[in-house]
Structures are given as structure tokens and as C-alpha cells.
Structure 1
């Protein structure tokens, strides 16, 4: 996900954003902010995993066939690989 966000931001733009962050918050507060953002992202990821597990459990309890999700994931991965093969030849500069 992060790589798709950074894809359209150049090095100069990243430097400018970091400069503004340092000017607004100060260099001493940046590690605390990064730590808080990291914790928040981790909690969000854990919450989504918990929700997925609960949905999976309730579907299995109801007798719903969940094997098709693996088929869908496999097909998505195949498409991703095909796209990566095509875009591997065409690189952005």
C-alpha cells in the first residue's frame, strides 16, 4: 500500500513534506508522532483481521461454503503477477 502512495511523489516533494513537518512539530516530537501513527496503523490492521476472522467463523458456523474465497484470492494473485510482468517492462522515471 505504501509503495502505491509513494509512486506519484518525487524525492523533492517528500523532502518538502518532511521539512514542513519538522517546522510545524519540531524535530523532538517527530519520533513520538511516528510511534503514535505506527500504533494506530497496527491497531487498525489488527481490528480488520479480527473482523475477517469473525466473519469467517460465523460463515462456517452457518454452513456457508467459504472455499471460494481462496479461489478468488488465487485469481487475484495471478492477475497481480500478470500486471507486474507487464509493468516490469515499463518503468516510470
Structure 2
């Protein structure tokens, strides 16, 4: 996704966006905005990681249940 954006947005566009942000928010607000953006990105990454871990745990539980059923059937047959 980043490579797609880099192909579309050139240096002039980035400069224009920076000027607009500077005019809208002022120089003093930009560090606060970047800090908030960084926190938001970190929270998003954390949530995405937790959902991946949750999906992996679900798969592991299914496998454990399957093995448990196989063991129970084997012990019943003996």
C-alpha cells in the first residue's frame, strides 16, 4: 500500500499538504497532532496483533479438542 501511495503522491503534493496542515493547525499544534497520530497507529497495531493471536488460539483450541476426542475414542475402544 505504501508503494502505491508513493507512486501517486510526489514531492510537490507532499509539500502542499504540509503547508496546508501548517496553516490549519499552526506550528505549535503539529507536534501534538503527530503524537496523537502515533498513539493511534500503535493502538491499531496492538489491536491487529491481538486479533491475530486470538485467531491462532482458536485454531489451537480446535486442534486440542480434536486430539482429545481421538484419545477418548481410542481409550473407549480398548
Moved more, 55-64 or 27-36: 55-64
Match of 2:60 in 1: 60
Match of 2:38 in 1: 38
TM-score, structure 2 normalization: 0.75
Match of 1:14 in 2: 14
TM-score, structure 1 normalization: 0.63
Q: Flag the structure with higher helix content.
A: 2
Gaps of 5+ in 1: 65-93
Cα RMSD, aligned residues only: 1.5
Q: Distance in 1 between matches of 2:36 and 2:2?
A: 17
Moved over 4 A (4+): none
Match of 1:87 in 2: none
Gaps of 5+ in 2: 65-78
Q: Distance in 2 between matches of 1:2 and 1:29?
A: 26
Aligned length: 64
1:4 positional shift: 3.2
Higher relative contact order (CA 8 A, sep 6+): 2
Which has more radius of gyration? Answer: 2
